[in-house]
Amino acid sequence: MEQPIEAPIIYENFSLKTFNTFGIDVKARFFTEISNIDQYLAIVREGKFKSIPHLFLGEGSNVLLTKDILALIIKISLMGIELIKENDNCVWLKAGAGVNWDDFVQYTVQHNWSGIENLSLIPGTVGAAPMQNIGAYGVEIKDTFNHLEALNLSTLQLEKFENADCLFGYRESFFKHAGKGNYLITSVCFQLNKKANPKTTYGAIMDVLSQKNITHPSIKELAEAVILIRQSKLPNPKEIGNSGSFFKNPTVSKSEADRLIQSFDGIPHYPIVGSTDVKFPAGWFIEQAGWKGFREGDAGVHSKQALVLVNYGNATGGEIVQLSEKIKKSVLDKFGVQLETEVNII
């Protein structure tokens, strides 16, 4: 007779310092790690943790932890990459929620499958990628996302979400709003191209390729260009704690954009395809407001990229939040623009 899967070991008062890229030292009341869905179901069946929230954690690269957490934190380590379908033009590739995102991207690059190479080197897991529709260098996962599977935490049934069901937007999805706290994403499937379809319009990519005299980049060359740019611009969380972009780039109406463009000489801005709204780089506002390189105790603003708030060692989550509030206020006072936080503050 088959033995029922046992619940995994549950640790108490567990430090999360090495489980979030900001390196914030708070404790989880309870902590565990699961490598299959049955382990989660076993925890639920046991019933010991039904009175406290269950919070899922990938690699902690998009969270800012501000206090000890009275919850069961569950690190998601559902692994595996599987080719589920292919035809002459495309492959449908599915990965477990716990697979490291960049490992997945490099796997597709090695196989010469095109679609997510511009998203090279983004930290985190495959399962967290749909949460905010991760994006970089002119590409978002919604462009190649096919479907995901998620465990409905009320019914304990697996549900399939097609692209349209996820309500993807700029750093947004159903899972950050109506679906928040109701699902454990277990796997994600992407539809990738067998023929290269390079997205090179982003300025920095064109610069790197032209320095290397590459006019028709292969998928691998494009991934390498993105990696080079990211390594030169963004702080490595292993060296300085951070969560990448702390704020979203503000998107404003055409009339508001006209006001900004007329008032501030040389302000960078980008049209949004299919909309009259205009996007402005949040980093520009923060830099112009004088915050780039600012440091207060161990909380600071990165010296090369003003959009990235950093922990130089022992900053608390509260200190990072306070700094972010000061930045928001000064950008609002100077430009009349309200910055929105991208990182999940817990």
Ligand X SMILES: Cc1cc2nc3c(=O)[nH]c(=O)nc-3n(C[C@H](O)[C@H](O)[C@H](O)COP(=O)(O)OP(=O)(O)OC[C@H]3O[C@@H](n4cnc5c(N)ncnc54)[C@H](O)[C@@H]3O)c2cc1C
Q: Of the two residues 228 and 261, which places its CB atom closer to ligand X in the complex?
A: 228
Residue ranges that bind ligand X, judged by CB under 6 A: 21, 55-63, 76, 97, 122-125, 127-129, 131-132, 134-136, 183-185, 234, 237, 242-244, 344
The rounded distance, in Å, linking the Cα atoms of 58 and 19 is 9
40 or 335: whose CB is closer to ligand X?
40
Question: Shortest distance, CB of residue 134 to ligand X, whole angstroms?
Answer: 3
Q: Which is nearer to ligand X, 123 or 250 (CB)?
A: 123
- Comparing CB distances to ligand X, the nearer of 90 and 143 is 143
CA distances 65 to 95, 179, 234, 324, Å, are 27, 21, 21, 14
- From the list 61, 120, 245, 324, the catalytic residue is 245
Q: Hey, how many other C-beta atoms are within 10 angstroms of the C-beta on 323?
A: 22
Q: Does the active-site annotation cover 245?
A: yes
Pick the closer one to ligand X by CB: 172 or 287. 172
CA-CA-CA-CA torsion for 219, 223, 226, 231, nearest 10 degrees?
Answer: -160
**What phi, psi does 267 have (nearest 5°)?**
-65, 125
Q: Which residue is nearest to ligand X (CB)?
A: 58
Residue 185 CB, nearest approach to ligand X (Å): 4
Catalytic residue (one of 59, 77, 171, 224): 171
CA–CA separation, 101 and 126 (whole Å): 5
Order of strands, sheet of 251-252, starting from the edge strand that comes earlier in the sequence: 251-252, 278-279, 270-271
Smallest gap from Cβ 46 to ligand X, in A, equals: 21
Q: What's the alpha-carbon Rg for the chain, to the nearest Å?
A: 21
C-beta of 90 vs 244, nearer to ligand X: 244
Give the Cβ contact number of residue 231 at 10 Å: 10
* Least distance (Å) between residue 135 CB and ligand X: 5
Residue 46 a catalytic site member: no
DSSP conformation class of 129: T
Please give the Cα distance from 243 to 113 (Å, whole number).
28
Give the tokens for residue 189: 């499937």
Helix segments in 75-152, DSSP class H: 101-110
Please answer whether residues 317 and 65 qualify as being in contact, where contact means their C-beta atoms are separated by less than 8 angstroms: yes
For the stretch 15-35, what's the b/e string if a residue is b when 16 or more beta carbons lie within 10 angstroms of its beta carbon?
ebeebbbbbbbbbbbbbbbbe
Could you tell me the smallest distance in angstroms from the CB atom of residue 210 to ligand X?
Answer: 22
- Minimum distance between the CB of residue 184 and ligand X, rounded to whole angstroms? 5
Residue 81 or 136 with smaller CB distance to ligand X: 136
Taking alpha carbons only, the member of 99, 49, 47, 45 closest to residue 74 is: 49
342 as an active site residue: the answer is yes
Reported as half-sphere exposure (CB side, CA atoms, 13 A), residue 193 has a value of 13
Q: How far apart are CA 327 and CA 215, in angstroms?
A: 41
Least distance to ligand X from the beta carbon of 101, Å? Answer: 6
Pairing between β-strand 63-64 and β-strand 344-345 as defined by DSSP bridges: parallel
Any idea which residues carry the catalytic annotation? Answer: 171, 245, 342
